[in-house]
């Protein structure tokens, strides 16, 4: 009930900055409906893998938020930079939001609780209220590790530059239509598939673990997000680098971590036996 009241109060304030960004990218993506080519499709799919899987899934989520594995600094920064091209705000704010979600899942304080409905968890929390516009005190509380890292601070400060550089490269390769597919359409696809983890994976799916919240394992979302949709598994073992715990639960991001381990670029990999980070955060609060 408290979450619903919070939702109703939040709806009185429109976050016009976020509305402008979301509207602009959706409008810029429309020409993709009329400019299909295999090259453009490749730009979208490859870009979605680099940004959505390597950047957001591996970099921002499993590595930075939950510290599920450790990577050399050059690789940590590279994965973080890949994630910035998702245009889901700066890395430090994204990580803070996700740590808040785990601490207050389906309670007052959860930024995108499904208690207020599917659309709130999907996009409403971004359009109304402050969304990820965290102040310095909030960042100090939830991401002190990132604020102490000069490289991460620099990436968060200039997080919008990598996508501009990527757009220029795509324009040089395939003209404006490749920019439409590889930037605008790719960002829109990445937004909605990532937000499905917040919404669909807290409403529909199986719940093999009693996590005390509404998180579910949703195979559809898992396919779209390279394994992030095995969300009930993740809430049961937040620091586990592997989300698809069963042989039939395809987890592309886990495969990537194992490949990085093979070449010596992923160490201290945590598995489902590790104490959940949500417990650690609650004790630290």
pLDDT in tens, 50-103: 999 999 999 999 999 999 999 999 999 999 999 999 999 999 999 999 999 999
Share of the chain above pLDDT 90, in %: 87
The CA–CA distances, whole Å, from 171 to 7, 148, 166, 182, 260 equal 41, 36, 9, 10, 31
Amino acid 129: pLDDT: 75
pTM of the predicted model as reported, rounded to 2 decimal places = 0.91
CA-wise closest residue to 170 among 155, 186, 194:
186
What single DSSP character describes residue 276?
P
- Specify the 3-state DSSP secondary structure of 173: helix
Contact 115, 3 (CB under 8 A): yes
CA-wise closest residue to 54 among 265, 238, 205:
265
- Specify the 3-state DSSP secondary structure of 70: strand
Higher pLDDT, 186 or 6: 186
Q: Could you state, in order of their start, the residue ranges of all structural domains in the chain? A: 2-284
Amino acid 131: pLDDT: 84
């Amino acid at each position: 009930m408290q979450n619903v009241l919070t939702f109703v109060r939040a709806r009185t304030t429109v976050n016009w900055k976020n509305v402008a960004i979301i509207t602009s990218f959706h409008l810029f993506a429309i020409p993709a409906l009329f400019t299909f080519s295999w090259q453009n499709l490749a730009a979208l799919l490859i870009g979605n893998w680099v940004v959505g899987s390597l950047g957001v899934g591996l970099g921002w989520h499993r590595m930075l938020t939950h510290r599920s594995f450790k990577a050399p600094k050059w690789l940590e920064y590279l994965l973080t930079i890949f994630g910035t091209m998702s245009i889901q705000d700066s890395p430090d704010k994204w990580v803070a939001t996700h740590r808040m979600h785990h601490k207050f899942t389906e309670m007052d304080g959860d930024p995108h609780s499904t208690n207020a409905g599917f659309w709130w968890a999907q996009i409403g929390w971004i359009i109304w209220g402050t969304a990820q516009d965290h102040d310095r005190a909030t960042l100090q509380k939830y991401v002190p590790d990132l604020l102490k890292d000069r490289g991460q601070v620099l990436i968060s400060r200039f997080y919008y530059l990598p996508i501009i550089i990527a757009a220029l490269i795509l324009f040089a390769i395939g003209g404006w239509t490749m920019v439409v597919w590889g930037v605008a359409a790719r960002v829109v696809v990445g937004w909605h598939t990532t937000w499905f983890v917040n919404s669909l994976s807290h409403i529909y799916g199986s719940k093999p673990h009693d996590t005390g919240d509404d998180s579910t394992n949703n195979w559809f979302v898992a396919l779209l997000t390279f394994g992030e949709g095995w969300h009930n598994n993740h809430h049961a073992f937040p620091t586990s680098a592997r989300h698809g715990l069963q042989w039939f639960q395809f987890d592309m991001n886990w495969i990537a971590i194992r490949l990085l381990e093979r070449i010596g670029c992923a160490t201290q990999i945590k598995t489902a036996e590790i104490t959940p980070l949500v417990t650690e955060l609650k004790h630290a609060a």
